[in-house]
Amino acid sequence: MIKLLIVDDSPLMRRLLTDLFAASGEFQVELARDGAEAMAKLHAFTPQVITLDINMPGMDGLACLDRIMLERPTPVVMVSALTAQGADATLEAMALGAVDFVAKPSGAISLAIDDLAPALIEKVRAAASARIPRTLRLAERIRLRSAPRPAPVRRIAPPLPPRGTALPGEGLVLVGCSTGGPPALEALLTALPGDFPWPIVIAQHMPASFTGALAQRLDRICALTISEVSRAVPLEPGHAYIGRGDADLVIARRAAGLVAMAAPSSADYHWHPSVDRLVASAMLHVGPERLIGVLMTGMGADGAETMRQLQTAGGRTIAEAEESAIVWGMPGALVKLGGATLITPLDRIAADLLALMGKW
């Protein structure tokens, strides 16, 4: 049985979530009405995973999460509203150490909870076995105190390491991630220079109301220019493009060159934006020798098969190593298929990507 702590100030939400998880037969459930009660049960109940509401009176979800990660780091799934404010708070939560999030239904929650149930159970089950990096906020944990988080500052990327001259001409870096993806993307993209020679196109599994906020957040702290793809946009070096949530992201060719565009999500793919669909579309318009695939943390296997095909055809692929991945599902699937050119911890992916660019 998975020990689950549900933290929510709404009695209705606590009851609905309790019934949902109890019915699955996989969870031993405890409840907390607010952040203070959650902190007491964090030590008394020692949960394996926590669902945490963001908006609560007194100690809100972010303050509670902050203390959880300092006192007893535990996988946390945030329960967030599908609003611009909810998206910003959720991304802040993931920066603080939350593993994943679920969107709280709008309208009549009691009617929508059954539709939410399969994805919610899947995410919480995956989070229970997620890896919390031992180095996460280690200095703060040692001091056992919380300090105010600094305002985001655009980081100056390190200079390019010595390497050969990259092959001239167009090419693409294709990045896929899911659970744990936002902080992984931050680690990758902040380490790349603003004059990175190929466009970077990213499929991160997220709802549409979150991907724009994610792109804006990353754009503030990266040397690269980062934007959300909601219409057809020409692909340029020094830019990273994040697919709009609840749609798919595809590559096409126009007279002036390559473009990225949002396409209606296809029922042929389970997750959206689909990494498999992104990679398959890129291979229709760009030679494999001009493509590099990067598959990072996430549950499931989205992207693994198409990146294996890319590598077999002569492309290069990087799979995040198990030691750093929050959930090693997607990159692990690529490794198991024999499709990873390199298997790399998160903090070295940018360097390996630059090294691959230098070889071409």
Contact between 339 and 307 under an 8 Å Cβ cutoff? The reply is: yes
For residue 55, give Cα distances in angstroms to 4, 74, 207: 19, 20, 19
Give mean pLDDT, residues 313-342. 97
CB 3 within 8 A of CB 46: yes
pLDDT tens digits, residue range 206-250? 999 999 999 999 999 999 999 999 999 999 999 999 999 999 999
CA distances from 64 to 52, 96, 97, 138, 225 (A): 9, 11, 12, 17, 33
Q: Higher confidence at residue 299 or residue 153? A: 299
User: CA–CA separation, 160 vs 18, rounded Å?
Assistant: 52
Which pLDDT score is estimated for 236? 97
Verify cis geometry, omega within 30 degrees of 0, for the bond prior to 273.
Answer: yes
The reported pTM is 0.87
Residues 250-302 have pLDDT tens digits of 999 999 899 999 999 989 998 999 999 999 999 999 999 999 999 999 999 99
| CA quadruple 52, 57, 62, 67: dihedral sign | negative
Unique residue bearing structure tokens 């802040």: 92
The answer to whether the CB of 304 falls within 8 A of the CB of 279 is no
Domains defined along the chain, listed by start: 2-132 (3.40.50.2300), 172-359 (3.40.50.180)
Q: For position 165, what pLDDT does the model report?
A: 38
Phi, psi (degrees; rounded to nearest 5) at 6: -100, 120
Q: Which residue matches tokens 């390190």? A: 158
Output the six-digit token pair for 221. Answer: 């702290």
Which residue is associated with the tokens 């229970």? 128
Radius of gyration of the CA atoms of the chain, in A: 20
Q: Which residues are catalytic?
A: 178, 205, 302
Percent residues over pLDDT 90 in the chain: 78
User: pLDDT higher for 182 or 154?
Assistant: 182
Q: Specify which of 76-90, 104-118, 282-296 reaches the highest per-range mean pLDDT.
A: 282-296
